[in-house]
Amino acid sequence: MPAKHFQKVEDLGNIMVDGFHLMGLFVIGAAIIWASWAEVFRIIAEGHPGIKDILLLFIYLELGAMVGIYFKTKRLRHACWLRHCR
């Protein structure tokens, strides 16, 4: 395959991968928003939050932050507590 055709195919592949990343991020972000609002409405229906409800909302917040960071940087944060970070 000539280098010119290979470059076009490679460019198309890169566009498709970037599109897949964006689509996946929007789907995951929408699922996080949906789940967190479902939890908020459940708390409202119950009449009061418990500690598990608050912790779950913090987890949703952290997941949303991870999606946002990955959207902006295309890198996932790593957990420093798993190894020595300097």
What is the CB neighbour count within 10 angstroms for residue 21?
A: 13
Specify the DSSP class assigned to residue 47: T
pLDDT in tens, 65-79: 989 988 888 776 665
The pLDDT tens digits along the chain (86 residues) read 688 888 999 999 999 998 998 999 999 999 999 999 999 999 999 999 999 999 999 999 999 998 998 888 877 666 555 555 55
C-alpha closest to that of 72 among 13, 20, 22, 19: 22
**pTM confidence score:** 0.74
Q: What is the CA radius of gyration of the chain?
A: 20
| Structure-block tokens of residue 81 | 């507590």
Listed residue (40, 76, 44) closest to 57, CA to CA: 40
- On whether the CB atoms of residues 43 and 54 are closer than 8 A, the answer is no
In order of 9, 13, 14, the CA distances from 1 in angstroms are 10, 16, 18
